[in-house]
Amino acid sequence: MTKAQIKYVRGLLHRQGLTEEKDAVVLEYTGGRTTHLTEMRYGETNALIKFLAGPSKKDAMTGKILSMAHEMGWELPGGKVDVQRVNAWCMKYTSCKQPLDKIPMNELPKVVTVFERVYMSFMKGI
């Protein structure tokens, strides 16, 4: 772990209220190998940062769209969201004409707004 990453992780730990539990958190993410941030490996560091930082804004917006699609019944037989259907909708009805996972961050709020309108229209029809 680099010095910059150590500083970043310490800040994330503080923000999450986990400063006192740092050793236990590091021990868990290293599989019991160490309690020191400096001894963490690349993959361990990335996993810890991802956990502490939480979902990105893009992940949250994408998740919101997928959740609404699920509630509208856009599902595969196993109950998972029909991502192909969501992607087809995005390519047809959004200004960027791209699948959901390829839509740039600056366009996602607009897509969420439009999809919310579709969702609300669906809910009124129930």
pTM: 0.65
Q: What confidence score (pLDDT) does residue 125 get?
A: 87
**Predicted confidence (pLDDT) per residue in 60-82, tens digit:** 999 999 999 999 999 999 999 99
**Predicted confidence (pLDDT) per residue in 47-64, tens digit:** 999 999 987 889 999 999
Nearest CA among 72, 50, 3 for reference residue 89: 72
Helix axes 42-53, 22-29, angle to 10 degrees: 130
Nearest CA among 63, 31, 61, 34 for reference residue 47: 31
In this prediction, residue 118 has a pLDDT band, given cuts at 50, 70 and 90, of: very high
| DSSP label of 77 | T
